[in-house]
Amino acid sequence: MERCSHATFGFISLLLLVAITSSSGALDEQDRDKIWALPGQPPVSFKQFSGYVTVNKEHGRALFYWLTEATIDADEKPLVLWLNGGPGCSSVAYGASEEIGPFRIKRNGSSLYLNKYSWNTEANILFLESPAGVGFSYTNSSSDLKTSGDERTAQDALKFLIGWFSRFPQYKNRDFYISGESYAGHYVPQLAKKIVDYNKASSEDFINLKGFLVGNAVTDNYYDSLGTISYWWTHAMISDRTYRSILTSCNFSATKTSNRCDDAVNFAMNHEFGDIDQYSIYTPSCSAASNSTAGRRSPLRLKNTLLRRRSYGYDPCTENYAEKYYNRADVQKAMHANTTGIPYKWTACSDVLIKEWRDAQFSMLPTYKELIKAGLRIWMFSGDTDSVVPVTATRFSINHLRLKVKISWYPWYTGGQVGGWSEVYEGLTFASVRGAGHEVPLIQPRRAFRLFQSFLAGKPLPKS
């Protein structure tokens, strides 16, 4: 074997030293972010990490994450990023604490208990509070809170991932998926496109994106609006007269609604809906929830949906428990959160971001077409009792992608019962989840878990 010269040997030694130093730095950062135990947490075998990744030094924008590693064989399981929508709502409040995360919060906010159907039994789950201003994520430039929108959110999320993978290099080559719900119907495919474009331009820090899974997703303003009104009428939430009034008064193709349209929709919501949870129309609403929150704004202009109340299943007040728990000083200390002393309380949703949202893509359908061509695994699912981003809206949008059907419409099963219905297309799978609201894993955790398993396996939902 040919011997190395002294110069070559020195260069190799330098490279090894840089690699070791870089690896050591990443391990130091991981140790800094490690959660040893959350207050009131039951014993667990998996590791947890949380902290901040700076995405813009000039403005001081930093995004907060919480990683819950897989319960078994974490080194071999894929990584899944979860994003909640709003825009302006927290993945810690919803995804982590009442949907797919390992813990649930007790009513008094004093302690936690385990979620039997946590998705981290199948994958490493990374929750991200995005954009800056959501939850514990922050900016040192207050003007950022009034200029947020789709484009910056996607760009900052990509910067977060690049920084996060540098801190956790053991995940760099892992199969990576993105998931989320509601306005994450924008966040998820927009971030996926950013990653696809980034991978084309960069050969160094390739992100091994395999696909995404998104539920009750804001997709296309026109079809979402039309599908929402159809849902209201077919589910007896509004009268024939109001249905006709909305259809004749509203131009769903317009970027802004007219006063006449707003009046027709407001009449339906204020006089015909009754006191229901619009995110889960057949389950009880939380009597403690304030009627003054954004629950009376029109979901017709879905890019501006400001509704903060969520579907809560058998316990409709879960969000209240999260606000108690994550505002505790000992919890924030354990999670390495609020290290800069954010001048406001942690909340599940940011009113400022929601009201000041700037740019929003009118239709995600062109982006879906690009991502289908890129060969990603794409699943869309819908809880069928959500009246805000209903199953009819998603089906209208998918129909206008005009995809070839591979497996025709069929009922899928779990636990000996119909879990919902599914249709598999060339490049996309659709599934409804029977009896689930806007937050599918909250209302129907077992069915949502089965759906997640099938998605990761890349197999159609079971027919029996």
Q: Shortest CA distance to 127 belongs to which of 93, 171, 76, 163?
A: 93
For the chain, give percent helix, strand, coil, nearest 5: 40, 20, 45
Amino acid making up residue 366: P
Residue (of 71, 76, 163, 183) closest to 117 by Cα position: 71
Q: How far apart, in whole angstroms, are the C-alpha atoms of residue 71 and residue 77?
A: 10
Instruction: Give the catalytic positions in this structure.
Output: 182, 386, 438
Token readout for 196 is: 């696809």
Per the CB < 8 A criterion, the answer to whether 217 and 390 are in contact is no
DSSP 188-240: HHHHHHHHHHHHHH-SSS---EEEEEEES---BHHHHHHHHHHHHHHTTSS-H
Q: How many CB atoms lie within 10 A of CB 446?
A: 14
Cα separation, 451 vs 463, whole angstroms:
12
